[in-house]
Amino acid sequence: MHRPATLVGWDIGGAHLKAARIDNGRLRAVVEKPCPLWQGMDHLARACDEILATLPEEPVLHAVTMTGEMADLFPDRRSGVEHIVACLAERIGARRRDILHFYAGKDGFVDVAASLQAAAAIASANWLATTACCAASAGEGILIDIGSTTTDIIPFASGQPCSLGRDDAERLQSGELVYVGVVRTPLMALASRAPLAGAWRGTMNEHFATSADVFRLLGVLDEGTDLYPAADSGPKSAEGSARRLLRMLGADLTPANGDGVTSLARWYRERLLQKIGTALAQVISRGQVTAQAPLVGAGIGRFLVPDLATRWQRSYRDCAELLCPGTDDPALRAWAGHCAPAVAVARLASLTA
């Protein structure tokens, strides 16, 4: 069958659904929708339908990658893959002439019939799609994809990914997966004490504040990427974030401590960077890339990667340069970087279909 002119790359996470549309080889749109899979499959069904409603009636090639199979809705990853595949097959199958393929990493793309047999390769492979795409363009580097919840650190050389881990358990061990991000990470995961007003204060083991509050106070959070309520369901404002941040230390926001909140936010930023930097040191120590290999930033938190590049005396590249060359729209380029796996899996599908 002739390859359709329109391709859609899907990245199905446990909290967000991201999709990238390519028409005749050019990136046309990137969207992200909240999709709390842990609350039920109906959230995925609705988010899928909203995206499908925007597509042309002509045949479309859909290329899917995922991490959502890790949601605690499912008893294990294989079951998660099976349910997600079934949901997409039902909805995309209703379009009759569309083609649905799932990314299975080094095994390429498989159809619905082969998906269960390839479940282990399909599960949590979105980082590999991004790395493979960047590697094909840049040759050598270290991808650092900082998302809302997690960070991927993947070296690549000679145009190929050099990852050691395959599943999340192995990637946590190898330093290639760090469970911190710039929106959803609860601050209790970053430290058990924090500095305020000249003293070290114990912190609460409660979901009082998240990393979104830190980066909102520092003025670097793209609010369009923060799709869930704040920890207290309160206002997503600088004042609201300051109140939540101080609550982590058992304190209230007052005129006396208001000036210290920004310093506290900078300290939490440093704690998060230290966690990523420690894993990066582990990955670099393997010696798979040269000292000249750049750090390639992806994800909504890639604004942190230039700082890491400076610390490691490496150059920096934005993944959007590699994933969507020829795209002049700055907003579209920004969202391509935010949702890199969706763009990457569509690009890979365009090369193999």
Closest-CA residue to 85 (of 112, 122, 65, 50): 112
Could you write out the three-class secondary structure of 147-171? CCCCEEEEEEECCEECCCCCCHHHH
Supply the pLDDT for residue 353.
58
Supply the pLDDT for residue 352.
80
Exposure string of 257-274, with b = 16+ CB inside 10 Å and e = fewer, is: beebbeebbeebbebbbe
Supply the pLDDT for residue 113.
96
> Could you give the domains of the chain?
6-140+323-352 (3.30.420.40), 187-273 (3.30.420.190)
Residue 71 is given by DSSP the state: S
Supply the pLDDT for residue 2.
63
Closest-CA residue to 131 (of 142, 121, 115, 119): 142
First-residue to last-residue Cα distance in the chain: 10
Write out residues in the chain with pLDDT < 50, as ranges. 1
pTM, whole model, 2 decimals? Answer: 0.95
Which structure tokens are listed for 194? 């924090």
Contact call for residues 183 and 148 (beta carbons, < 8 A) = yes
Supply the pLDDT for residue 1.
43
